[in-house]
A = this chain, B = another copy of it.
């Protein structure tokens, strides 16, 4: 098959991960290997940059910067939460592709992004404009179906599990059966991230922290929670609780829903799930409790990213280019698959964009122990390979240095677009 000649465009979308730029580096470096790809462009802020024709010349970036992308958090090209709102958006995107001879379009994003670029792929086909459109999955939430796991998840849970180990060492030295601490992690609708904290337990040490993992998948029962904390405090010096931010009560409401009646200076604003649990403990158990909330600092913690995750993020990016160029694939999302082997090995595959479900991939119920607050061996077996290795960081003057793209603009050739 003769290779399609033209330019390449890559964008990033949705919430950043610690390794989303490794996928970007994978696309850029692989694209350089293929002569059929002439220019390598980046779109600023996801499809918003496509619609506004805000393109930058990625081949003009230094190799140093491209290498540094592998340890840089955030989305180096900027991101967006925009998905096409109207038919005109699709047509405009295609117009931009044609104007810049974009024949390869790579979109790093989540399930919603995949549905969007699928429409774009259909339109290009129906108009007879030959191009390749591929999705590269990313999300800290690990909730994209059709891929074994998602680039971004491994680094997220490596940092969460590291934090739990460190808090445990700290708390154990303080507690005398009277100290509770709570770590709130991201994950509003799924417990994948909170579940990952289970990796902090040493093998065959089920009583290690985290002692209680609260998942959005398990209805929060305050009486059981209090009893669980009491049980841990009777056994251990301290009790470490990990909670996802989206804890729900028996009516399906978030336990920490924001008060809608906050006054001008926010005096009745409620905290998150962690602060809520702190209140529950202090009001009912008369012991001291403290909460920490990783929030966006967690997903951005590139200084503690997983090498395996980073490598796989990069691999997903380069595989997209290879599938598009060498195999002429379009309308697919790259997937990560476990190779059939004695030890963990990750391979890439692909799935039709249309077959990526919009619904979130669920944490398997049978990976949660009967106690509802801990994970069993199948989960640990699944997640452990994803956190292996440490991404080397470039330190300067005691702090990590991150890549900043020069971002040389590609000349606009079209009239402005009204979004």
Write the residues of chain A forming the contact surface with B, with a CB cutoff of 8 angstroms: 12, 15-16, 45, 72-79, 158, 161-163, 165-174, 176, 181, 183, 199-200, 222, 262-272, 274-284, 290-304, 306, 308, 384, 387-390, 395, 397-400, 402
List of B residues within 8 angstroms of A266 by Cβ: 276-283
CB <8 Å contact, B262 and A297 = no
A107 to chain B, nearest CB (A): 15
- From A278, A297, A402, residue with most partner B Cβ within 10 Å: A297
CB <8 Å contact, B399 and A162 = yes
A215 to chain B, nearest CB (A): 19
A208 to chain B, nearest CB (A): 11
- Report which of B173, B199, B275, B399 forms a contact with A75, defined as CB distance below 8 A: B173
Given that A169-B73, A300-B167, A400-B165 are contacting pairs, would A269 and B265 also be in contact in the complex, using a CB cutoff of 8 Å? no
List of B residues within 8 angstroms of A12 by Cβ: 173
A202 to chain B, nearest CB (A): 9
| Chain B residue with Cβ nearest A282 | B266
List of B residues within 8 angstroms of A183 by Cβ: 297
CB <8 Å contact, B158 and A398 = yes
List of B residues within 8 angstroms of A272 by Cβ: 271, 275
- 6 additional A-B pairs beyond A170-B299, A262-B283, A266-B281, beta carbons within 8 Å, are A77-B173, A162-B303, A165-B400, A171-B296, A290-B296, A293-B293
Give the number of times this chain occurs in the complex, counting copies: 2
Given that A75-B173, A266-B280, A280-B265 are contacting pairs, would A398 and B389 also be in contact in the complex, using a CB cutoff of 8 Å? yes
CB <8 Å contact, A174 and B79 = yes
List of B residues within 8 angstroms of A176 by Cβ: 45
Q: For the complex, what is the distance from the CA of A340 to the CA of B76, rounded to whole Å?
A: 43
CB <8 Å contact, A294 and B292 = yes
- Report which of B165, B284, B397 forms a contact with A384, defined as CB distance below 8 A: B397
List of B residues within 8 angstroms of A387 by Cβ: 398-399
CB <8 Å contact, B296 and A284 = no
Q: For the complex, what is the distance from the CA of A167 to the CA of B266, rounded to whole Å?
A: 24
Closest 7 CB pairs of A and B: A266-B279, A271-B271, A269-B279, A292-B295, A74-B169, A387-B398, A166-B300
| Chain B residue with Cβ nearest A76 | B173
- From A166, A270, A395, residue with most partner B Cβ within 10 Å: A166
CB <8 Å contact, B290 and A292 = no
Given that A173-B16, A300-B167 are contacting pairs, would A271 and B268 also be in contact in the complex, using a CB cutoff of 8 Å? no
A196 to chain B, nearest CB (A): 11
Pick 19 A–B contacts, CB within 8 A, sort by A: A12-B173, A72-B169, A76-B173, A79-B173, A79-B174, A163-B300, A163-B301, A166-B297, A166-B301, A167-B300, A264-B283, A266-B278, A266-B279, A266-B281, A266-B283, A269-B271, A269-B283, A292-B295, A303-B304
